[in-house]
Amino acid sequence: MASIVFRSSTATSGQSIDQIGRRSQSRPRSTQRHDSGLTHFAELVQSISHQDVERRYREEEADNRIPSDDAPGSSQFPGDDGKTIISWEVNDKENPYNWPKWRKNVILVTTMVTVINSTMGSALPSMAIPYMTKEWGVTSQVQFVLPISTFLMGYVFGPIVWGPMSEHIGRRNLSVGCFMMFTIWTMACALAPNWPAILVFRFFVGTFASAPIAVTTGILADVFQDPVTRGRAMAWFMVTTVFGPLLAPIISGFSSTSIGWRWTFWIGLIFAGLTLIMLLALPETYAPVLLSRRAAKIRKGDPNAQVYAAADLEPKDFKQLATRVLTRPIRMIMTELIVSAVCLYLSLIYAIFYMSFQAFPIIFQDVYGLSPGVTGLCYLPIGLGAGIALPIFFSYDRILANAQSRGAPWSKQEEFRRLPLATIGGPLFVISLFWLGWSARSDVSFVAPMLAGIPFGTGFILIFMALLNYITDAYEIFAASANAAASSCRSVFAVVLPFATTPMFTQLGISGACSLLGGLSLVMCVIPFIFIWKGEEIRARSKFCIALKERKLEMERRNEEQQRRIAAANGGGTNIEKETV
């Protein structure tokens, strides 16, 4: 296997060792030790990342029966003589890429329904909190935020584990197991005996509810090979992530005032139970796990067979799990500028979205005197805006496809595949915040600020569609880890910033608070423009992207050679059905 060599940048061209030595001696020893420590740490992180990419693509090559340059044959795994490595055949029906369209769409719908449960759970007690605190005698305004914030704390820690774990043990069992625990802890919330108990239960609900957010992007990458089709599937998935939090205030607003706040959680539990039935039918989609099962089945039929999948021969001890798998999202945040910038932007708009669960009661109940149930209905324009984002997404998809068919130079650039959607969504999101803040007055109908939810929802979804698709395409086989990093970061902001909502709106007023958030969003919305302008250069300097690109090109080259040999042997090509969704 050809290895990738990354040269140290310590001694640049034109600099001798003596020059570097004299320069380092002129600096204080404490600074030298500090710099040495940082350098060593950076090199360690990069080394782990390079090994991670190398190992994962080696599995990918073996899974797809692609011969390595220094291997004697495609059936032999380097260093494991006598062990036959199974891989996907051409048009193998068990390969998720080759599954029928209806099966892929069922998987997509299942993941969509699952994520509705997850996101609905985040805001489920939003309109029920006044009734919960009244029952248990909680009077501190700061604590009113805790039922949502403790849930989102689970969103912080969960994805860091679930995303990379799904790339280690597979998608299906982890998804089902986490959703079962989500269902159990939701029931615990309905039966909570006191305030501290429900806060603890909400943390565990959030931890297990974060699994669909972290894993679904990996599932879609498993079954949709074509980036265009995968992007469309991601668009449907992203829209459903908004509808969960929008349904939650309606459920809690009407149930709390009529049948009791506990029914808020019972209704959530009923929906989760129905979803669990669908989720149990979800097949495993992760190719290394599927090939491991195939190899195990062969060995069971013939105990003397030395048949393995590539993943079976990779070490799976705790050291590997701790240093390579579980640290992957953290390494991406620390070393990848693309991931860091995406996390920062998404964190802000995600936090603003969850701040609305404190801001809307201030606006629509305090200013306009609406009931909790009717206030919950004021979230519906956000859902309408999210729905409007879909035709915008598909229209741009057609524009891009037509440009690519004409051979337009701009259409070949990676950054133009999805990022222009964020250049539309960013300004819309900014406009919606100023609209909401400056129209929310008692002398103006409540309909005016409510309609600000339309550009809010459209902008929110377009930004998420563009940036999550961008990092999914950029980091491919590590899409789940990249998205886990983004999910954890934005959840940190969503935990912290809502604590400032009530004091901020009290001190600055509705117009001032919304203007402040709009100004921050305006600063952040330049990020997609910078990516379009300099994204190719940023990826060219990224160690992770360099390693991914080189390994991918190498694998594609050998795959093309193999396909040509197969086509020549068969006297013709192989027809491959085009993916649609």
CB 358, CB 145: distance < 8 Å: yes
Any idea which residue has 């406009």 for tokens?
431
Distance CA 452, CA 381 (A): 8
**Which DSSP letter does residue 365 get?**
I
- Measured on CA atoms in the order 25, 28, 34, 35, is the torsion positive or negative? negative
Which pair of structure tokens corresponds to residue 184?
């159990």
**Residue 258 DSSP SS3:** helix
Question: CB count, 10 Å around CB of 367?
Answer: 15
Angle in degrees, CA 178, 265, 201, rounded to 5: 55
The tens place of each residue's pLDDT in the chain, 581 residues long, gives 333 333 333 333 344 434 444 444 555 555 555 555 555 545 544 555 555 545 554 545 544 444 444 433 333 344 345 677 888 887 888 899 999 999 999 999 999 999 999 989 988 988 888 899 999 998 888 888 889 889 988 888 887 788 778 877 889 999 999 999 999 999 999 999 999 999 999 999 999 999 988 888 889 888 988 877 888 888 888 888 888 888 888 898 888 888 989 999 999 999 999 999 999 999 999 888 888 888 888 888 888 777 877 777 766 665 665 666 667 777 777 777 888 888 889 989 988 988 888 888 899 988 898 888 888 888 899 989 999 999 999 899 889 888 888 888 887 777 888 889 999 999 999 999 999 999 999 889 999 999 999 999 999 999 988 888 888 777 766 666 676 777 777 878 888 888 888 889 989 999 999 999 999 999 999 999 998 888 777 777 766 666 666 666 666 666 666 667 666 766 654 444 455 66
Residue 157, H or E segment: helix 146-169
pTM for the full model? 0.72
**Taking Cα atoms as reference points, which of 461, 502, 555, 551 lies closest to residue 49?**
551
**Taking Cα atoms as reference points, which of 391, 458, 85 lies closest to residue 242?**
458
DSSP-assigned beta bridge partners for residue 308: 85
Distance CA 561, CA 44 (A): 35
Which pair of structure tokens corresponds to residue 11?
């001694």
Any idea which residue has 């009244």 for tokens?
134
User: Which of left, alpha, beta for 418 (phi over 0: left; psi -120 to 50: alpha)?
Assistant: alpha
Any idea which residue has 């390595």 for tokens?
68
pLDDT of residue 549: 62
Distance CA 544, CA 53 (A): 8
Residue 203, H or E segment: helix 195-223
Any idea which residue has 């693509």 for tokens?
57
The CA–CA distances, whole Å, from 198 to 44, 184, 266 equal: 42, 13, 14
**Taking Cα atoms as reference points, which of 88, 49, 72, 86 lies closest to residue 1?**
72
